[in-house]
Structure 1
Amino acid sequence: MKSTDITREELWAQQNLSAMEIDYSIWERDRSMLHQMSKVSHTCTFVVDVYKCKYTFASSNFADLLGYDRHKIATLEKQGDYLESRIHPDDRQQLADLQVRLGQFIYSLPVEKRNDYCNIYSFRIRDTRQQYIRVSSKQQVLEQSSSGKAWLILGNMDISPNQKESGQVDCTVINLKNGEIFSPSLLIRPHTDLTSREIEILYLIQQGFLSKEIAHRLCISIHTVNIHRQNLLRKLGVQNSIEAIKAGIESGLLS
């Protein structure tokens, strides 16, 4: 995967979060709750503060399960990207690029829809025996600012039951409002200028939905759907939906 031209931190900064929008007493409450939960859970929990652009919490299970230094976990805010230090070097760049591209997709959506998604990544990390194992990391918005922007991101990492031999970082994107599952290839636009909405409609066309059904699912008019359909046909240089689906698969937009 080609490295992106923007970092995660630069992407987060585009939200323009303001200190006036954030109440850190909420985070203190959440931190206390997460500490208590870590005592009864074996998953590795972490939190990213998008306003500060840094990791702000990690449960002690990172030390118990994956062999991280306990002191550095306890002082995570001062440790930079320490949580990422045990990720396989080949996977770390893939993961960073994928997170940026998924973030660009989410930030292209209306503000009221940006926090509806959960991303589940699968990659390799070094464990207590200094061997690489595959883990699953589920990430979603924990807290929003007063203006509805993503502020705190909650992550839960656990050893994956599927220990396949692969150098590929996998990702599944779930819309928490309607249960739809997206392939990451839908959110990455390598060779086309289709908008995220046009890609979403192309995906629904592939699933067999009619314009009326697409309009209902996306809460837009049939007229708007048809305009998007015309635009994506034009951009893909095809004449009909069947050709559009074929072009989408060939370009990597559809799986």
Structure 2
Amino acid sequence: MDIIDKLNKELLKQNFMGHSYTSSELDKYREVAHRYACMENAISVLSDMQTNISYIYYGGFAEALGLKETEKIDCIHSIWEEGIFSLIHPDDLYQKNLQELKFFHFIKHQPKNKRKDFYLINKLRIKDATGHYHSTLHRLFYIPVKNAPNAMWLALCLYTPLSLEMPGKSAVVYSVTGQLIELKNKDSTQILSEREKQVLRLIHQGWTSKQIAEILTISIHTVNRHRQEILGKLQVKNSIEACRIAKDLGVL
């Protein structure tokens, strides 16, 4: 299972309810991203989920990594900054993507007027041109759509050197008070319906479709339909992968 595929499905296929914006609205947030790059020497990535375009601003940290010269701006046709992802330790990248998926579901369960008050932090290892890994703080902010508050229009990612120790490798920050909130698996458990969870648990226990049908008193056709729904929602190719990602998300 590729977590990026799952995130693509969640982020790029949101219902924007005919949301449209002016260039001045986008320019306002692009200026915010630019200022983070200038003020914090951050690598700042502003991603537009509606158009699948990202704007990358390179502060001094990019030069330290040998990634880009400072003051440079890139515009890429993707919400994923692959050039940066390629430098992140593979173990950290998987966990980063998994936590972003959980954070997306966490945000959607917050009161609509509070969603802008939370952001995600991750501790990452990013390597420079010599292969040396640098401890890095990654922050993710979501900007919702005004007239479709269940949809997240923009995502702002910031990469800066990690200068202070942080508890754990990931947490949500409530910016009003500074409170750290650990992402619980329950924030991702609503991806599957209750019946689909039942079927997946029985699959995980090794039961066949025929046995599952007997246990749940449903037809084999219904069991197979649930299997296909599970694979589709988790964006996996088989039941083994479905069980693995479901464990990571806390569904199992």
TM-score band w.r.t. shorter chain: 0.5 to 0.7
* Structure 1 residue 38: Cα displacement: 3.3
Matched to 2:157, the amino acid is G
Q: Deviations over 1:7-40 (max 9, x none)?
A: 2121113531255333332222332454355344
- Equivalent residue runs for 1:7-26 within 5 Å: 7-18=6-17, 20-26=19-25
* Contact 1:21/1:147 (<8 A) preserved: no
Distance of 2:10 and 2:104 partners within structure 1: 7
Q: Is the 8 A contact 1:119 1:138 kept in 2?
A: yes
Tell me by how many angstroms 1:57 deviates. Answer: 2.5
Residues 36 and 66 of structure 1, relative CA distance in 2, 3 Å threshold: same
Q: Secondary structure at the match of 1:133?
A: strand
Looking at structure 1, the residues matched to 186 and 53 of structure 2 have their Cα atoms a distance apart, in angstroms, of 25
Equivalent residue for 1:204?
Answer: none
For 1:119 and 1:125, locate their aligned partners in 2 and report how far apart those are by CA, in whole Å: 18
Identity %: 18
Counterpart Cα distance in 1 of 2:61 and 2:75: 11
In the aligned structure 1, how far is the partner of 2:13 from the partner of 2:27? 25
SS at structure 1 position matched to 2:116: coil
Return the offset for 1:186.
5.9
State the Cα RMSD in Å.
3.6
Paired residues of 1:123 and 1:135 also in contact (CA < 8 A): yes
Confirm or deny that 1:102 pairs with 2:103: yes
Unmatched runs of 5 consecutive residues or more in structure 1 = 194-252
Q: Secondary structure at the match of 1:17?
A: coil
Contact 1:11–1:104 (CA under 8 A) maintained in structure 2: no
SS in 1 for 2:40: coil
Residue 127 of structure 1: how far off its partner (Å) = 1.9
Letter of the 1:121 partner, please give it. N
* Runs of 4+ that moved beyond 6 A: none
Q: What is the aligned partner in structure 2 of residue 159 from structure 1?
A: 161
Q: What TM-score results when the alignment is normalised by the length of structure 2?
A: 0.59
Match of 2:152 among 135, 150, 153: 150
Structure with the bigger RCO (C-alpha within 8 Å, sep 6+) is 2
Do the aligned partners of 1:145 and 1:151 also contact (CA within 8 Å) in 2?
A: no
Q: Residue 154 of structure 1 aligns to which amino acid in structure 2?
A: L
What CA distance in whole angstroms lies between the structure 2 residues aligned with 1:130 and 1:86? Answer: 9
| 1:185-224 equivalences in 2 (<5 Å) | 185=184
Number of aligned residues: 188
